[in-house]
Chains A and B, each alone.
Chain A
Amino acid sequence: MAALTSKRGPSLNPLDSLKNKVGLPYLLLLPGMFWLLLFFLAPILTLVSTSTKVPGAGIGEFIQVHRWANYWDALSAMHTQFIRSFIYATLATLLALAIAYPLAYAIAFKSGKWKNVLLVLVVAPFFCSFILRTLAWRQILAQDGFLFKILQFFHLVNSSTQLTASTLAVITGLSYNFLPFMTLPLYASLERIDPRTMEAAGDLYANGFTTFRKVTVPLSMPGVVAGTLLTWIPAAGDFVNAQILGNPNTTMIGNVINAQYLQTTNYPLAATLSFILMLAILAIVLVYIRRAGTEELV
């Protein structure tokens, strides 16, 4: 974005003269920022304040005592689910990358005039409701489902194999459901690559694989970073896949938080866990961005 700010000297941008009107950008920002402050930032602060409360005398009554030890208690009680969520999200992200990269590559370089149609087809399945899709996977993987029968025919599974209600099903569901968040950024960065860079590699006696490894992959890294983040973040906080496709041993932190809010109504614990989840994800994301060397995510 730096290219558009006034730092770059003589400007080509005719609207630069508008920059004298100092108030205008703030006027444009005001309504949206107001909305985010009121309905994003203020709720997060409420969450933090709720997290240090303790149960009071009455049912559903909580008293503010600034008990920061709540965080320690929550972590020691639920660290398994936290770690499990991050592992599942990471595996699902890697799976999604393995599926989406060749797909995005094929659309960007091998599809000719079908490019736009294929691009639409890659996103279209995700307009059919998230919950419906996940339920469909449960039925497909079930023992009387058609995929199971096909696998059984090839002796890849037998009647004692359980595909639903398993870790594998949860991870598959997570990677399937967030796939467009992976495919679209990958496609965007692959499509931007000048094909001549790959031809040049070929001219320099690089074979197909070396060209891919030394030219295509490095040039598509912004897409990889954006895609993995946009997949990993919702996957780490998800509870729907674990609920529909999992079993009690695949409980993710999202399931715990959801249950604490809506069933147990232990708001302080739910708030504590939510805030830990948010901070943990932010910390991991920031380290990842720094490592990957792309500051330009937004």
Chain B
Amino acid sequence: MNKFSRWFSKNLIRIYAVVGFTYLFIPIVYTFVFSFNNYVKSNLVWRGFTFNNWKNPCGVLDICPALGNSIKIGLIATTGATILGTFIAFALGRYAFKGRGIVNTLIFLPMATPELVLGASLLTMFLNFGFNPGFWTIVIAHIMFCISFVVVTVKARIASLDPRLEQAAMDLYANEGETFRRITLPLVAPGIAGAALLAFSLSFDDFIITNFNSGTTITFPLYVYTHAERGLPAQANVIGVSMFMLALIIVLAGQFVGRKRKTTA
């Protein structure tokens, strides 16, 4: 075996990881580069470099209202799903009760059902009851499909807790309420935060379910989809890349805070 092939087989997994990350980032790099395109009508051909799209992200009709709707829906749905899901996670993770199997099934089923069926069936029901789809039907739908993901995330966190910590608190004469508030909840909090972040990203990026239940309300993914054929403005790239960067900053900051807390504790 020569030197190169030995180096190659030793670092195979690292080489593979580099290739993997390149693959992951190709569309992001493309979207980023074309956010600086001096486009005319549609952003398909490179026409020169400009900062205009970044200076003026709301410069095209409807795009910022669509983004605003996505953020509003995301925040409301995240709050709702996180509260409802966390309650369920505590019930499942902390109590023995009859009907656990039914609850587990009802949590599992929405995750095993394609989004298309979730969205379509909800629309069918709304139409049957003469309900006009719009902003609030999107919120309802998003809370529905986010709940299961919140339950799974928070439940995993609860299951990983060391029960002795709570026992220690109670040995030190904390009552149940205090133990929950000062020990259990802070320990589960990172799980809840993670679940909320997941719910927001699922809601913000959802296209299929939203497309069915939106009526005339436009969210950012709907905007991108409907404008794809007529020519998508580079402002959409600006917003997409900004969301990517924002997520990166939030998660990295969260990790940094978490690490700092761990070292100071």
Contacts from A to B (Cβ < 8 Å): 1, 3-7, 12-15, 17-19, 22, 24-26, 28-29, 31-33, 35-37, 39-44, 46-47, 50, 99-100, 102-103, 105-107, 110, 116-117, 120-133, 135-137, 139-140, 144, 146-147, 176, 179, 229-230, 233-234, 236-240, 244, 254, 257-258, 261-262, 267, 270-271, 274-275, 277-278, 281-282, 285, 297-298
Chain B residue numbers with a CB within 8 Å of A36 are 106-107, 110, 144, 147
Q: Is B92 engaged at the interface, CB distance under 8 Å to the other chain? A: yes
Q: In terms of DSSP, what is the predominant structure of the interface of chain A?
A: helix
**In the bound complex, CA of A28 to CA of B97 (Å):** 12
Nearest chain A residue, comparing its CB with the CB of B237: A132
B91 and A50 form a contact (CB under 8 A): no
B163 and A12 form a contact (CB under 8 A): yes
Whole-angstrom distance between the Cβ of B37 and the nearest chain A Cβ: 11
Interface string of B167-201 (1 = CB under 8 A from A): 10110000010011000100000000000000001
Q: Is B60 engaged at the interface, CB distance under 8 Å to the other chain? A: no
**In the bound complex, CA of A228 to CA of B116 (Å):** 19
Using A1-B155, A50-B128, A102-B20 as known contacts, list a sample of 18 further A-B pairs with CB atoms less than 8 Å apart, ordered by residue number in A. A5-B96, A13-B166, A22-B97, A29-B91, A37-B106, A47-B125, A105-B13, A106-B17, A110-B13, A124-B247, A124-B248, A129-B205, A131-B225, A133-B28, A240-B208, A281-B112, A281-B113, A298-B108
Nearest chain B residue, comparing its CB with the CB of A255: B116
Interface string of B130-163 (1 = CB under 8 A from A): 0000000000110110011001100100010001
**In the bound complex, CA of A106 to CA of B125 (Å):** 46
Chain B residue numbers with a CB within 8 Å of A137 are 27
Chain B residue numbers with a CB within 8 Å of A237 are 114-117
Contacts from B to A (Cβ < 8 Å): 13-14, 16-17, 20-21, 23-28, 30-31, 34, 44-45, 83-85, 87-88, 90-97, 103-104, 106-118, 120-125, 127-128, 140-141, 143-144, 147-148, 151-152, 155, 159, 163-164, 166-167, 169-170, 176, 179-180, 184, 201, 205, 207-208, 211-212, 220-221, 224-225, 228, 232, 236-237, 239-241, 243-244, 246-248, 251-252, 255, 259
Q: In terms of DSSP, what is the predominant structure of the interface of chain B?
A: helix
**In the bound complex, CA of A103 to CA of B23 (Å):** 11
Nearest chain A residue, comparing its CB with the CB of B92: A1
Which residue in A4, A31, A126, A277 is a CB contact (below 8 Å) of B159?
Answer: A4
Nearest chain B residue, comparing its CB with the CB of A142: B44
Whole-angstrom distance between the Cβ of A63 and the nearest chain B Cβ: 13
CB within 8 Å for A102 and B252 given contacts A4-B94, A128-B243, A133-B27: no
Chain B residue numbers with a CB within 8 Å of A121 are 21, 24, 248
Which residue in B24, B124, B246 is a CB contact (below 8 Å) of A43?
Answer: B124
